[in-house]
Structure 1
Amino acid sequence: MKRFAWTLAATLAFAMPALAGDQYVDGTGYAVSGYDVVAYRSLDQVAVGQSQPEAVRGRSDITAEYNGVTWAFSTEENRDKFLENPAYYAPQYDGHCAYGVSRGGKVPANPNLWRIVDDKLYLNITDVVVGFFEEDIPGNINLAEGNWPGIEADGASSSVIPKFTSEGPVAN
């Protein structure tokens, strides 16, 4: 019986999503600087080494709460999709830079420097960092996955995103 209880506990632990850490929120007060995380799935992703299309800004009147912060969306349909499965749409590493996490730290991420890999959204901080991340995407994700449990509980970055200005979601 004891073995069954341990097996059940282990199975449930792996089946449940990991508890999220502090979501990175910049001066806009919104997750992902107020950009619509569902909209990334409809953008045409370009080849490695090319700049991705610009992210879609959310609206201040179409929002949802998740992981202790407010998320903005460009449409009510996108908000509803997000609410059905927020962990699927939210960027990895609570919106911190994927390459930064691969190197063991939490740094902010620019919503316009994104890539979807294996159906997961990854953000990075600068164009230069995107280049480092893209040199070995699987290797960097593997490193980040190994580092994340050890830094997940650390406070969210309070740094600003270099070379990025955001005024938050579009007013309604």
Structure 2
Amino acid sequence: MKTMKTSNPKKWLALALGLLLIGTGSILAQSHSYSTDDSMIALEGYSPVSYIEQGKAQMGKKAFKTTYDGITYYFVNPEQQKQFQSNPKKYQPQYGGWCAYAVSLGGKFRPNPKSFRVVDGKLYLFTVNLEGDFVKAWEKEGKDKHIAQADQNWKSMGKFKTF
């Protein structure tokens, strides 16, 4: 009776590493953690240009989309799409689109895209839940204090650490 060699540890390790790299390729291409679901659509489809230029949340259209840093953004019209393409960093939400108040406290919570503030040309999003409206707390406690703390926290927060 012949005995078969059932495993080759080096072969299995190489296979596992290959699958890991394939599965995380799009994640590794991103510069930081973004608040999106598996669709990788930013702001749940709302136009980042509308927030900054018009001060309102407007749903974008699939016909006018652009992918930047592995994330897809939708726009209301081709003019907005061109504005974003000419300067994407201007229109990206702060802290990867995570709730600004939560980031200032050291956490990452998904925001409601209709709960936002634009401060000094930058977009900040907030969580709204049964316990309260985070944008109101952010403003009441001092938005400048929270922005400074969130900026500091964001530098050291884990790339994919989510609460």
By the TM > 0.5 criterion, same fold?
A: yes
1:102: which partner in 2?
104
Shift of 1:26: 3.0
**Residue pair 1:23, 1:156 contacting (<8 A) in 2 also:** no
Give the Cα separation in 2 of the matches to 1:114 and 1:24: 14
Kindly, what percent of the aligned residue pairs are identical? 34
Q: Deviations over 1:33-60 (max 9, x none)?
A: 000000113335xxxxxxxx5x100001
Q: Unpaired runs of 5+ in structure 2?
A: 1-29
Is 2:150 aligned against 1:144? yes
Q: Deviations over 1:123-152 (max 9, x none)?
A: 00115211111111101101101101111x
Out of 121, 124, 136, the residue aligned to residue 122 of structure 1 is 124
Q: Unpaired runs of 5+ in structure 1?
A: 1-18, 45-52, 160-172
Segments of 4+ moved more than 2 angstroms? 26-29, 41-44
Is 2:39 aligned against 1:39? no
Q: Deviations over 1:74-111 (max 9, x none)?
A: 11110110011111001000100000100001111111
Distance 1:156 1:35, change over 3 A: farther
1:6: which partner in 2?
none
Give the Cα separation in 2 of the matches to 1:130 and 1:112: 11
Is 2:138 aligned against 1:133? yes
Letter in 1 for 2:134: V
Structure 2 counterparts to residues 72-83 of structure 1, below 5 A: 72-83=74-85
Give the Cα separation in 2 of the matches to 1:28 and 1:111: 16
Structure (1 or 2) with the greater helix fraction:
2
Aligned pair count?
130
- In terms of Rg, which structure is larger? 2
**Residue pair 2:52, 2:122 contacting (<8 A) in 1 also:** no
